[in-house]
Amino acid sequence: MSTRVVVLDYGSGNILSAERALIRAGADVTVTADSAAAFECDGLVVPGVGAFAACMAGIRAVNGPEIVGRRLAGGRPVLGICVGMQVLFEHGVEHGVDTEGMGEWPGVEELHAPVLPHTGWNTVDVAEGSTLFRGVEDERFYFVHSYGVLTWLLDVADDSRTARPLVTWATHGEPFVAAVENGPLVATQFHPEKSGDAGAVVLRNWVESLP
């Protein structure tokens, strides 16, 4: 049986490209806002382009925070992409507006760089032990964003119950979080679906890691 992946449909603009890329990665993909389908699938993808506040409004409208929270409570995989990654954090500050996110990790803020938005291809500093980047550790990935995660709290205990998240970094003006692998919760600031062969490998690695 094929791995069942749901792309959460809350009005985000990059759903079609994400759907196609996941199909190429070997998943059986459904695009829907249906809560039951999102709960029951093998992997849930939260895409996102545009403003943090607008994405959060759309996600709340389809009960996204509860869907994600219930999946993670049961150890069921979730992948966030671009703003779909950012909304997993506790808040995002854009143009002076602070919007509450889903609260899984610390917050999002504007990059300090000479040119914004950050648009184009970047290498990344892959976390040791990464499953997501296996085989593409030295490749480049496509980013489009002006905001990101600039700090990461590394006070999570390394023990049998709570493993330290694997944090991959990139730099545009200053270092920012490019990806996080935190048990069932995985997210990328870059767009794997727009990152050519390297992005296809990232998505395939994620699909193949699903239980």
Note the pTM of the prediction, 2 decimals.
0.91
Name the helix (H) or strand (E) containing 46. strand 43-46
Q: Which residues are catalytic?
A: 82, 191, 193
3-class SS of residue 89: strand
Please state, in angstroms and rounded to a whole number, the distance separating the CA atoms of residues 137 and 3.
Answer: 25
Identify the pLDDT of residue 98.
81
Is residue 41 within 8 Å of 4, Cβ to Cβ? yes
Partners of 46 in beta bridges = 80
Per-residue CA distances from 35 to 7, 64, 86 (Å): 11, 8, 21
Identify the pLDDT of residue 160.
36
Is residue 190 within 8 Å of 143, Cβ to Cβ? yes
Partners of 160 in beta bridges = none
Identify the pLDDT of residue 65.
95
Instruction: For residue 171, give the amino acid letter.
Output: T
Q: What is the pLDDT of residues 111-143, one digit of tens each?
A: 999 999 999 999 999 999 999 999 999 999 999
Q: Where are the beta strands (DSSP E) in the chain?
A: 3-8, 27-32, 43-46, 78-81, 91-94, 97-100, 109-110, 118-123, 140-145, 147-148, 166-172, 174-182, 185-188
Which tokens hold the place of 9?
């449909």
Ranges of the chain whose pLDDT falls below 70: 1, 153-163
Instruction: Domains for the chain: give ranges and CATH numbers.
Output: 3-209 (3.40.50.880)
